[in-house]
């Protein structure tokens, strides 16, 4: 049976009666049984739901019905997205036994398009992390090298696609949590513009930054999944009314003549020499494709990490206040209400979540709000303006996804600042609200994947996917 399935491959195999949806689903569960023990990428599986959907697809094929775009495609869902009847923990002990009564909009749309939900993927607790080592249920291992991190916080979603345990998956991105693990695991993945994909059913970390997006084995598959999950949702007031283009059809257009901005601020000290070599070679591919390379200046880039961690932690401290042992989730015993609060949050939250709650509470407190949070919002506006100014001159911006390849497990856990700096090239697009994508750009030593990041203007996902598809087709993954 095929090892690396694509969406088109699944559809063709099902339509040609070469395999049934039930057989394919069984195959993916068998693969997971064989490899999840070493990868720790899935936290929960949903065989009952998956086989019920597979039987529905097989019945439609038997009746010669027209198949929906993701018919029979096995997919995985990051464990911060609500799934009806399937345990949803956010990688945290505080939600260890939480089973939502509803599906997130993105999950609902996948299943309506025929996708088969295999299960929930491991992630940093409440999506807070850059390595997937902050999960209460153990670290995920990188399929490319089991002694290395897969990236975070969507490391499980990246790993299951890279290891062939799902054809596509959903992750979430707050400051790089889709793009950085895609880079580390060597798969393409996309963060759409803020508002492009509904956040309904996404358990919040930082509400003005959180976004849902897909991982897959090819840029075309990323485009197909984005087409399915994007669009207005009345249950999410921040979702856009802008129409969703046919991304899967747009990606084949020529990129000749497009202007690609290369921001000097993303190529400074601290970048691994191997990453630099691969990204430089990747940029040269765009020149060969007929793109015009333009040097640009984005002056507020250096302030992005500090700005991001002020705003994100402030929003996290507010969003996570609801986990108090009263309404749902873990409840620890206490002799008073206050003691019960303290015990519940003390036992339920891990050290990184506690660190961010404390920092966020501090920057929002009386006397510090103006000095930190308000100033952070002002700098965020300047970073967004850098992107708007750049897109007056260029059609897209190309940068490294990460300054380093996947680092060894445990290397940065004792140094939170070094861990945060792994997001130095991704947080800018998060703060600006623009779409971004990581595509594979070779491997260091033939082993450790490198990612190339492409940013587009707000709601310019089609342009990003067009460039990524051209890059992939020109052999970008093998530079």
Rounded Cα gap, residues 178 and 214, in angstroms: 8
CB atoms within 10 A of CB 30: 11
Contacts of 442 (CB under 8 A, 6+ apart): 278, 281, 282, 449, 450, 476, 477, 478, 479
Q: Classify each residue of 372-390 as buried b or exposed e, where b means 16 or more C-beta atoms within 10 Å of its C-beta.
A: bbebbeebbeebbebbeeb
Outline where DSSP puts E strands in 163-303. 168-173, 189-191, 211-216, 259-263, 292-296
Phi-psi category of 210—alpha, beta or left, where left has phi over 0 and alpha has psi -120 to 50?
Answer: beta
* Residue among 140, 80, 154 nearest 423 (CA): 154
Please confirm, yes or no, whether 378 is among the known catalytic residues.
no
Which among 78, 120, 220, 278 is annotated as catalytic? 78
Rounded Cα gap, residues 25 and 53, in angstroms: 10
Contacts of 378 (CB under 8 A, 6+ apart): none
* Residue among 192, 242, 196 nearest 213 (CA): 192
Contacts of 445 (CB under 8 A, 6+ apart): 274
Dihedral sign of CA atoms 152, 228, 193, 388 in order: positive
Are the C-beta atoms of residues 206 and 319 closer than 8 Å to each other? yes
Please confirm, yes or no, whether 92 is among the known catalytic residues.
no
Rounded Cα gap, residues 164 and 160, in angstroms: 6
Please confirm, yes or no, whether 177 is among the known catalytic residues.
yes
Which among 92, 131, 135, 177 is annotated as catalytic? 177
Residue 271, classified by CB atoms within 10 Å of its CB into exposed (0-12), middle (13-18) or buried (19+), is middle
DSSP state letters, 7-26 = HHHHHHHHHTTSS-HHHHHH
Would strands 448-455 and 396-400 be described as parallel, antiparallel, or unpaired? antiparallel
Which among 82, 135, 145, 153 is annotated as catalytic? 153
Are the C-beta atoms of residues 91 and 136 closer than 8 Å to each other? yes
Rounded Cα gap, residues 159 and 143, in angstroms: 6
Enter the tokens of residue 290.
């007929």
Are the C-beta atoms of residues 232 and 105 closer than 8 Å to each other? no
CB atoms within 10 A of CB 297: 12
> Which positions are catalytic?
78, 153, 177
């Amino acid at each position: 049976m095929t090892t690396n399935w694509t969406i088109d491959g699944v559809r063709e195999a099902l339509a040609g009666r070469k395999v049934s949806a039930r057989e394919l689903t069984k195959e993916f569960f068998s693969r997971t049984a064989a490899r999840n023990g070493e990868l720790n990428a899935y936290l929960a599986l949903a065989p009952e739901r998956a086989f019920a959907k597979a039987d529905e697809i097989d019945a439609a094929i038997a009746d010669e019905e027209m198949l929906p775009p993701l018919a029979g495609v096995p997919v995985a869902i990051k464990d911060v997205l609500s799934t009806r009847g399937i345990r949803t923990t956010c990688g945290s002990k505080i939600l260890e036994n939480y089973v939502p009564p509803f599906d997130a909009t993105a999950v609902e749309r996948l299943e309506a398009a025929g996708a088969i939900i295999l299960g929930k993927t491991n992630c940093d607790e409440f999506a807070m992390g850059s390595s997937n080592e902050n999960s209460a249920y153990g670290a995920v291992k990188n399929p490319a090298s089991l002694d290395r991190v897969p990236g975070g916080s969507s490391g499980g979603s990246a790993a299951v696609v890279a290891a062939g345990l799902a054809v596509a998956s959903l992750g979430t991105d707050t400051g790089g949590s889709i793009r950085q693990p895609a880079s580390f695991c060597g798969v393409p993945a996309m963060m759409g513009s803020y508002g492009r994909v509904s956040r309904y059913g996404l358990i919040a970390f930082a509400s003005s930054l959180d976004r849902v997006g897909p991982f897959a084995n090819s840029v075309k598959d990323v485009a197909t999944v984005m087409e399915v999950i994007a669009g207005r949702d009345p249950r999410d007031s921040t979702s856009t009314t802008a129409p969703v283009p046919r991304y899967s059809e747009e990606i084949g257009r020529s990129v000749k003549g497009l202007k690609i901005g290369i921001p000097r601020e993303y190529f400074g000290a601290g970048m691994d020499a191997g990453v630099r070599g691969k990204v430089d070679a990747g940029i040269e591919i765009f020149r060969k494709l007929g793109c015009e390379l333009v040097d640009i200046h984005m002056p507020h880039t250096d302030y992005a990490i500090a700005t991001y961690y002020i705003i994100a932690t402030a929003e996290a401290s507010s969003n996570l206040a609801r986990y108090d042992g009263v309404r749902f989730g873990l409840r620890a015993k206490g002799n008073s209400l206050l003691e019960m609060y303290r015990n519940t949050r003390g036992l339920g939250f891990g050290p990184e979540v506690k660190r961010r709650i404390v920092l966020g509470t501090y920057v929002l407190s009386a006397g510090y709000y103006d000095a930190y949070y308000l100033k952070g919002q002002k700098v965020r506006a300047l970073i967004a303006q850098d992107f708007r100014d750049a897109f007056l001159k260029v059609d897209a911006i190309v940068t490294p996804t990460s300054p380093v390849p996947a680092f060894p497990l445990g290397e940065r856990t004792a140094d939170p600042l070094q861990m945060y700096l792994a997001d130095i090239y991704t947080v800018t697009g998060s703060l600006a609200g623009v779409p971004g994508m990581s595509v594979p750009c070779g491997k260091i030593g033939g082993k450790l994947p490198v990612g190339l990041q492409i940013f587009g203007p707000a709601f310019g996902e089609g342009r990003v996917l067009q460039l990524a598809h051209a890059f992939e087709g020109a052999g970008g993954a093998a530079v």
